Every structure is written in C-alpha cells, then in structure tokens.
Amino acid sequence: MIFPECFVTDKKLFRQISVVFADALGDKKIKLQVCPLDLGVAKDGRFNSLTEDFRNHLSSDAKILVGPDYRDRINYFRFKDSTEGVLSHNLRKARLSILLSEHNRRNDYGEFLNKFDTLLSAVSGVPKQIMYLIDRNLRASRFSSLEILSSTFPNLDIEPLERIKWLYNNHIEYDGVYHNPEELVDFSMDALGFFENVIKSYVGKFPLGKNRK
C-alpha cells in the first residue's frame, strides 16, 4: 500500500483505512502481510523496508488492485546501513500497527495494546538512531538525543516524543491510556507523525548521494 503523500501521511486517511481493513477482515483469522509506504520514502529508498530483491518479484508477480502503479518510482537498495534497516523496519511496523489497530481493537484487545507498546518503543528509539546516522555517536538512552535532535532539526516538533517520555515515567497515566482506545489511537497517530517528520527532516537535510547504490 502506497500513500500518495511524501513522508508524512494523512492521519485521517490512515484511520479510515484502518476501519476498511477491520471491516474486510471481520473476525476471520487470515494473516495479512502489509507493507505501507509513502511516495517520499519509496522514491528515496533509504527507509524503504523492501530491498533490491523485491524489485523483480514485484515487477513480475504483483497485481495492481487499487490506484496507480508506482513500481517504477520505488528506489531499492541491495545493501543498507544497519541503522537505516532498523528505521525502515520500525517505520513499517509503526504504520502497520495503526493500519490494523481497528481490527485488533475489535477482535483482540491484548494485541491492540501490544502493538501500541511496540509502536511507542519503536518511535522513542528514532532520535538516537537518526542521530547515529548523522554523527556516528552511539547513545545508550533512547531519550538522551532529544536536545541534539532539536538543534539539528529546529523546525521539528518533538512534543509527541516528550509525551512518550512522560508516559514512560507515569505508569498510572500510561495504564489509563490502555483503557481509552480513542486516546490510544490518537496518541499512536501523533507518535507516527513524529517518526515520519523525523524521516522527512533527515532526507531534506541529507539528500541521497548520487553515488549511493
């Protein structure tokens, strides 16, 4: 599934599609493997979770079911920096958890909560991972890069990450979010938006080199 926006997806649309997936799946126990991408990430390629191996597979095997065929606009790499790989994987995981959130909320509330925890963990690791790509300094704590992230990308809104940090230190409120699915989904959307904005800022400041293969 490729969203037409560049880097930062439309969260209203995301929520609508989450309902579409939930309605289509119902209570059927079919495992869906979905790779949600956006055109910005697809074209840049560094944070595309699909590697070069998929190019031929998708060219020959994939069937266009809805909308445009974007396959010739996707950039794949055979080799990626391991941190790019982690960010690519986590971006896919974060988006997928929201795409299937309505289905999980209706059918398996435990899984709904598990995916929320996974999303927060993935998003809170983004600052130190993106800073590692920039300066190659390994930081132990997930929240230790907030200040340097802000100074590197002054226009980036880090409020969603500060809320995650606050939640991690306030378990009564964290547990309260578990019991409020609407708030949980809103929180997830903001967290994903932060992740996408970090990627957008990084790609804007550090464009893909022409010699990158």
Partner 1 sequence: MGKMNHPGYDIPRPTKRQYYEVCDKLVSRLMESGEMGLSLMGHGSFFRDGDCNFGVSDQDFF
Q: Hey, what are 211's tokens?
A: 């010699």
Based on the shown chain and the rule CB under 8 A, indicate whether residue 32 belongs to the binding site for partner 1.
yes
Closest CA to 198 of 131, 105, 147: 131
Give CA 198 to chain center in angstroms: 10
Q: Which CB atom, from 62 or from 208, has the smaller least distance to partner 1?
A: 62
Secondary structure element (H or E) that encloses residue 38, with its range: strand 37-38
Using CB under 8 A as the binding rule, the residues of this chain from 167 to 196 that contact partner 1 are: none
CB of 104 to partner 1, least distance (A): 12
Q: Which CB atom, from 63 or from 179, has the smaller least distance to partner 1?
A: 63
- Residue 74 dihedral angles phi and psi, to the nearest 5°: -95, 135
Based on the shown chain and the rule CB under 8 A, indicate whether residue 91 belongs to the binding site for partner 1.
no
CB of 14 to partner 1, least distance (A): 11
Q: Which CB atom, from 9 or from 124, has the smaller least distance to partner 1?
A: 9
Q: What is the DSSP string of 151-175?
A: HHSTT---HHHHHHHHHHT-HHHHH
Q: Which CB atom, from 39 or from 86, has the smaller least distance to partner 1?
A: 39
Applying CB under 8 A, which part among 18-26, 82-90, 124-132, 160-168 lies near partner 1?
A: 18-26
Beta strand pairing status for 37-38 and 2-3?
Answer: parallel
- Residue 37 dihedral angles phi and psi, to the nearest 5°: -130, 170
* Binding interface with partner 1 (CB under 8 A): 1-4, 13, 16-17, 20-21, 23-26, 28-35, 37, 50, 57-58, 61-71, 108
